[in-house]
Structure 1
Amino acid sequence: MKKIHIAAALAALLTSTSLIAGDAQTGIKRHEALRNDFDATREVVQVRVDFAPGTTFGMHTHPGVEIAYVLEGTLQYSFEDKPSVTLKAGQSLYIPAGQAHAAHNPGQVQGAELATYIVEKGKPIVVLRAKP
Protein backbone atom coordinates (compact mmCIF):
# COMPACT_ATOMS: atom_id res chain seq x y z
CA MET A 1 0.00 0.00 0.00
CA LYS A 2 2.83 2.43 0.86
CA LYS A 3 4.46 1.83 -2.53
CA ILE A 4 1.31 3.00 -4.33
CA HIS A 5 1.12 6.22 -2.25
CA ILE A 6 4.81 6.98 -2.80
CA ALA A 7 4.50 6.38 -6.54
CA ALA A 8 1.41 8.60 -6.75
CA ALA A 9 3.12 11.38 -4.78
CA LEU A 10 6.22 11.19 -7.00
CA ALA A 11 4.09 11.30 -10.16
CA ALA A 12 2.21 14.36 -8.85
CA LEU A 13 5.49 16.12 -8.01
CA LEU A 14 6.98 15.42 -11.43
CA THR A 15 3.83 16.63 -13.18
CA SER A 16 3.63 19.85 -11.18
CA THR A 17 7.27 20.84 -11.79
CA SER A 18 7.56 19.68 -15.39
CA LEU A 19 8.82 22.13 -17.99
CA ILE A 20 7.65 20.07 -20.93
CA ALA A 21 4.26 18.61 -21.81
CA GLY A 22 4.65 15.86 -24.39
CA ASP A 23 7.40 13.47 -25.48
CA ALA A 24 11.01 13.72 -24.29
CA GLN A 25 13.52 15.18 -26.73
CA THR A 26 16.72 13.17 -27.24
CA GLY A 27 20.04 15.01 -27.47
CA ILE A 28 18.53 18.03 -25.70
CA LYS A 29 19.34 19.04 -22.12
CA ARG A 30 17.37 21.75 -20.30
CA HIS A 31 18.54 23.45 -17.10
CA GLU A 32 16.22 25.92 -15.41
CA ALA A 33 18.36 28.82 -14.16
CA LEU A 34 15.63 31.17 -12.87
CA ARG A 35 11.92 31.23 -12.08
CA ASN A 36 10.25 34.29 -10.57
CA ASP A 37 6.85 35.99 -10.47
CA PHE A 38 6.47 38.59 -13.22
CA ASP A 39 3.02 39.79 -12.16
CA ALA A 40 -0.15 38.28 -10.68
CA THR A 41 -0.76 35.86 -13.58
CA ARG A 42 2.64 35.40 -15.25
CA GLU A 43 6.14 34.28 -14.35
CA VAL A 44 9.55 34.75 -15.94
CA VAL A 45 11.60 31.59 -16.48
CA GLN A 46 15.15 31.32 -17.85
CA VAL A 47 16.38 27.98 -19.16
CA ARG A 48 19.70 26.97 -20.70
CA VAL A 49 19.02 24.54 -23.54
CA ASP A 50 21.94 22.45 -24.86
CA PHE A 51 21.70 20.85 -28.30
CA ALA A 52 23.96 17.94 -29.27
CA PRO A 53 25.22 18.17 -32.88
CA GLY A 54 22.44 17.44 -35.37
CA THR A 55 19.61 17.37 -32.82
CA THR A 56 16.23 19.02 -33.12
CA PHE A 57 13.79 20.21 -30.49
CA GLY A 58 10.54 19.45 -32.32
CA MET A 59 7.68 21.77 -33.19
CA HIS A 60 6.23 23.32 -30.02
CA THR A 61 4.59 26.40 -28.51
CA HIS A 62 4.75 28.35 -25.25
CA PRO A 63 1.95 29.90 -23.16
CA GLY A 64 3.75 33.25 -23.41
CA VAL A 65 6.66 34.89 -25.21
CA GLU A 66 10.18 33.50 -25.62
CA ILE A 67 13.41 35.40 -26.17
CA ALA A 68 16.09 32.97 -27.38
CA TYR A 69 19.75 34.03 -27.11
CA VAL A 70 22.28 31.70 -28.75
CA LEU A 71 25.16 31.08 -26.34
CA GLU A 72 27.27 28.76 -28.51
CA GLY A 73 27.23 27.15 -31.93
CA THR A 74 24.61 27.76 -34.59
CA LEU A 75 20.88 27.13 -34.17
CA GLN A 76 18.20 27.14 -36.84
CA TYR A 77 14.64 28.05 -35.86
CA SER A 78 11.78 26.98 -38.12
CA PHE A 79 8.17 28.14 -38.00
CA GLU A 80 4.86 26.89 -39.40
CA ASP A 81 3.97 30.16 -41.12
CA LYS A 82 7.20 32.01 -41.95
CA PRO A 83 10.74 31.33 -43.20
CA SER A 84 13.31 29.74 -40.91
CA VAL A 85 16.02 31.81 -39.21
CA THR A 86 19.62 30.72 -38.52
CA LEU A 87 21.42 32.35 -35.59
CA LYS A 88 25.02 32.16 -34.38
CA ALA A 89 26.38 32.71 -30.87
CA GLY A 90 25.57 36.24 -29.71
CA GLN A 91 22.37 36.60 -31.75
CA SER A 92 18.82 36.52 -30.40
CA LEU A 93 15.24 35.97 -31.52
CA TYR A 94 11.81 37.03 -30.21
CA ILE A 95 9.07 34.38 -30.50
CA PRO A 96 5.49 35.54 -29.82
CA ALA A 97 3.15 33.61 -27.52
CA GLY A 98 1.59 30.59 -29.21
CA GLN A 99 3.92 30.75 -32.26
CA ALA A 100 4.67 27.15 -33.29
CA HIS A 101 8.41 26.68 -33.85
CA ALA A 102 11.25 24.16 -33.71
CA ALA A 103 14.98 24.55 -33.04
CA HIS A 104 17.73 22.54 -34.74
CA ASN A 105 21.49 22.37 -34.33
CA PRO A 106 22.75 21.91 -37.92
CA GLY A 107 26.40 21.95 -36.86
CA GLN A 108 28.99 19.38 -35.87
CA VAL A 109 29.58 21.03 -32.47
CA GLN A 110 27.48 21.61 -29.36
CA GLY A 111 24.87 24.39 -29.60
CA ALA A 112 23.22 26.18 -26.69
CA GLU A 113 20.68 28.90 -26.07
CA LEU A 114 19.44 30.86 -23.08
CA ALA A 115 15.65 30.89 -23.39
CA THR A 116 13.78 33.53 -21.42
CA TYR A 117 10.04 33.00 -21.15
CA ILE A 118 7.31 35.26 -19.80
CA VAL A 119 4.48 32.78 -19.46
CA GLU A 120 1.20 32.07 -17.70
CA LYS A 121 1.67 30.63 -14.23
CA GLY A 122 0.75 26.99 -13.69
CA LYS A 123 1.11 25.90 -17.32
CA PRO A 124 3.89 23.80 -18.83
CA ILE A 125 6.57 26.04 -20.33
CA VAL A 126 6.80 23.93 -23.49
CA VAL A 127 3.88 22.21 -25.22
CA LEU A 128 5.05 19.81 -27.95
CA ARG A 129 2.97 19.66 -31.11
CA ALA A 130 1.55 16.33 -32.22
CA LYS A 131 3.50 14.71 -35.03
CA PRO A 132 1.50 14.37 -38.27
Structure 2
Amino acid sequence: MTRLLHAVTLVLALGAATTPLAAQEVTRTEIRRVDAPGSTTHEVIVSRLEVAPGATIPRHTHPGDEHMVVLEGGEMKAPNGKIIPFALGDTALFPAGQVHGGLTNAGTTPLVALTTHIVEKGQPFMTLAE
Protein backbone atom coordinates (compact mmCIF):
# COMPACT_ATOMS: atom_id res chain seq x y z
CA MET A 1 0.00 0.00 0.00
CA THR A 2 2.90 2.40 0.68
CA ARG A 3 4.08 1.84 -2.90
CA LEU A 4 0.62 2.75 -4.14
CA LEU A 5 0.48 5.92 -2.06
CA HIS A 6 3.78 7.09 -3.54
CA ALA A 7 2.56 6.33 -7.02
CA VAL A 8 -0.80 7.89 -6.36
CA THR A 9 0.74 11.32 -6.55
CA LEU A 10 0.57 10.68 -10.29
CA VAL A 11 -2.83 9.01 -10.50
CA LEU A 12 -6.59 9.19 -10.86
CA ALA A 13 -9.77 11.26 -10.92
CA LEU A 14 -11.58 12.87 -13.73
CA GLY A 15 -14.40 15.14 -14.78
CA ALA A 16 -17.93 15.14 -16.16
CA ALA A 17 -20.58 12.51 -15.78
CA THR A 18 -20.48 9.55 -18.16
CA THR A 19 -18.10 11.17 -20.61
CA PRO A 20 -14.87 9.94 -22.13
CA LEU A 21 -11.94 12.22 -21.36
CA ALA A 22 -9.50 13.55 -23.92
CA ALA A 23 -10.92 11.22 -26.60
CA GLN A 24 -9.48 8.28 -24.72
CA GLU A 25 -11.22 5.40 -23.09
CA VAL A 26 -11.23 6.92 -19.62
CA THR A 27 -14.80 7.28 -18.39
CA ARG A 28 -16.20 8.82 -15.22
CA THR A 29 -19.83 7.97 -14.50
CA GLU A 30 -21.38 10.15 -11.82
CA ILE A 31 -23.37 8.11 -9.29
CA ARG A 32 -24.43 10.79 -6.83
CA ARG A 33 -24.04 14.54 -6.24
CA VAL A 34 -25.22 16.16 -2.98
CA ASP A 35 -24.40 19.20 -0.88
CA ALA A 36 -21.59 18.56 1.59
CA PRO A 37 -23.09 18.27 5.08
CA GLY A 38 -23.10 21.63 6.85
CA SER A 39 -21.73 23.52 3.83
CA THR A 40 -23.30 25.87 1.32
CA THR A 41 -20.07 26.15 -0.69
CA HIS A 42 -19.06 22.50 -1.26
CA GLU A 43 -20.61 19.37 -2.73
CA VAL A 44 -19.86 15.65 -2.62
CA ILE A 45 -19.62 13.82 -5.96
CA VAL A 46 -19.37 10.01 -6.05
CA SER A 47 -18.33 8.46 -9.38
CA ARG A 48 -17.21 5.25 -11.03
CA LEU A 49 -13.93 5.70 -12.94
CA GLU A 50 -12.95 3.22 -15.65
CA VAL A 51 -9.59 3.27 -17.44
CA ALA A 52 -9.49 1.01 -20.50
CA PRO A 53 -6.29 -0.85 -21.46
CA GLY A 54 -3.91 1.59 -23.15
CA ALA A 55 -5.82 4.68 -21.97
CA THR A 56 -4.00 7.46 -20.13
CA ILE A 57 -5.40 9.57 -17.32
CA PRO A 58 -4.39 13.18 -18.04
CA ARG A 59 -2.45 15.09 -15.38
CA HIS A 60 -4.94 17.32 -13.59
CA THR A 61 -6.19 18.91 -10.35
CA HIS A 62 -9.55 19.35 -8.60
CA PRO A 63 -10.97 22.26 -6.53
CA GLY A 64 -11.29 19.96 -3.50
CA ASP A 65 -10.21 16.61 -2.12
CA GLU A 66 -10.56 13.31 -3.99
CA HIS A 67 -10.72 9.91 -2.31
CA MET A 68 -10.31 6.75 -4.39
CA VAL A 69 -10.92 3.02 -3.81
CA VAL A 70 -9.82 0.45 -6.43
CA LEU A 71 -12.71 -1.88 -7.39
CA GLU A 72 -11.00 -3.78 -10.21
CA GLY A 73 -7.22 -3.66 -10.11
CA GLY A 74 -4.49 -3.79 -12.67
CA GLU A 75 -1.18 -2.24 -13.60
CA MET A 76 -0.56 1.38 -14.54
CA LYS A 77 2.54 2.69 -16.30
CA ALA A 78 4.12 5.96 -15.14
CA PRO A 79 5.69 8.39 -17.63
CA ASN A 80 9.14 7.11 -16.57
CA GLY A 81 8.14 3.56 -17.60
CA LYS A 82 7.73 2.22 -14.05
CA ILE A 83 4.84 -0.25 -13.67
CA ILE A 84 2.68 0.41 -10.61
CA PRO A 85 0.25 -2.26 -9.35
CA PHE A 86 -3.23 -1.22 -8.20
CA ALA A 87 -4.87 -3.99 -6.17
CA LEU A 88 -8.51 -4.47 -5.26
CA GLY A 89 -9.23 -2.33 -2.19
CA ASP A 90 -6.23 -0.01 -2.50
CA THR A 91 -7.08 3.55 -1.48
CA ALA A 92 -5.67 6.99 -2.16
CA LEU A 93 -6.26 10.63 -1.25
CA PHE A 94 -5.51 13.55 -3.56
CA PRO A 95 -5.73 16.85 -1.66
CA ALA A 96 -7.29 19.90 -3.31
CA GLY A 97 -5.00 21.37 -5.98
CA GLN A 98 -2.54 18.43 -6.02
CA VAL A 99 -1.51 17.47 -9.57
CA HIS A 100 -2.16 13.77 -10.22
CA GLY A 101 -2.78 11.48 -13.19
CA GLY A 102 -0.38 10.86 -16.04
CA LEU A 103 -0.65 7.08 -15.76
CA THR A 104 -1.51 4.66 -18.57
CA ASN A 105 -3.35 1.37 -18.07
CA ALA A 106 -0.67 -1.21 -18.92
CA GLY A 107 -2.94 -4.19 -18.35
CA THR A 108 -5.34 -6.13 -20.56
CA THR A 109 -8.49 -5.31 -18.58
CA PRO A 110 -10.03 -2.01 -17.42
CA LEU A 111 -8.94 -0.56 -14.10
CA VAL A 112 -12.04 0.52 -12.15
CA ALA A 113 -12.19 2.78 -9.10
CA LEU A 114 -14.83 4.48 -6.99
CA THR A 115 -14.01 8.14 -6.45
CA THR A 116 -15.50 10.59 -3.98
CA HIS A 117 -14.79 14.28 -4.48
CA ILE A 118 -15.54 17.03 -1.99
CA VAL A 119 -15.27 20.11 -4.20
CA GLU A 120 -16.20 23.77 -4.32
CA LYS A 121 -19.49 24.43 -6.05
CA GLY A 122 -19.31 26.47 -9.24
CA GLN A 123 -15.65 25.63 -9.91
CA PRO A 124 -14.51 23.49 -12.85
CA PHE A 125 -14.54 19.88 -11.66
CA MET A 126 -11.13 19.24 -13.21
CA THR A 127 -8.35 21.46 -14.54
CA LEU A 128 -5.71 19.93 -16.81
CA ALA A 129 -2.12 20.40 -15.58
CA GLU A 130 0.74 21.36 -17.87
TM-score between the two structures when normalised by the length of structure 2: 0.72
**Residue in 1 aligned with 2:24?**
26
Question: Which structure: greater helix fraction?
Answer: 1
Supply the AA of the counterpart residue of 2:22: A
| Runs (5+) with no aligned partner, structure 2 | 1-14
**Residue in 2 aligned with 1:113?**
113
Q: Is the 8 A contact 1:52 1:105 kept in 2?
A: yes
Q: Is the 8 A contact 1:73 1:107 kept in 2?
A: no
Count matched residues.
108
**Residue in 2 aligned with 1:92?**
91
Mapped to 2, the partners of 1:116 and 1:77 lie a distance apart of: 23
* CA distance 1:86–1:125, change in 2 (3 Å): farther
* CA distance 1:71–1:25, change in 2 (3 Å): farther
CA offsets 1:5-28 (integer angstroms, 9 cap, x no match): xxxxxxxxxxxxx739xx724111
Moved over 3 A (4+): 75-78
Mapped to 2, the partners of 1:27 and 1:97 lie a distance apart of: 25
Mapped to 2, the partners of 1:77 and 1:96 lie a distance apart of: 22
TM-score between the two structures when normalised by the length of structure 1: 0.71
Q: Secondary structure at the match of 1:56?
A: coil
Question: Which structure: greater strand fraction?
Answer: 1
For residues 1-132 of structure 1, what are the structure 2 equivalents within 5 Å? 19=16, 24-38=22-36, 39-74=39-74, 76=76, 86-102=85-101, 103-130=103-130
Cα RMSD of the aligned pairs, angstroms, is 2.6
Mapped to 2, the partners of 1:63 and 1:77 lie a distance apart of: 26
Once the two structures are aligned, what percentage of the paired residues are identical?
Answer: 38
* CA distance 1:123–1:89, change in 2 (3 Å): same
Mapped to 1, the partners of 2:67 and 2:54 lie a distance apart of: 22
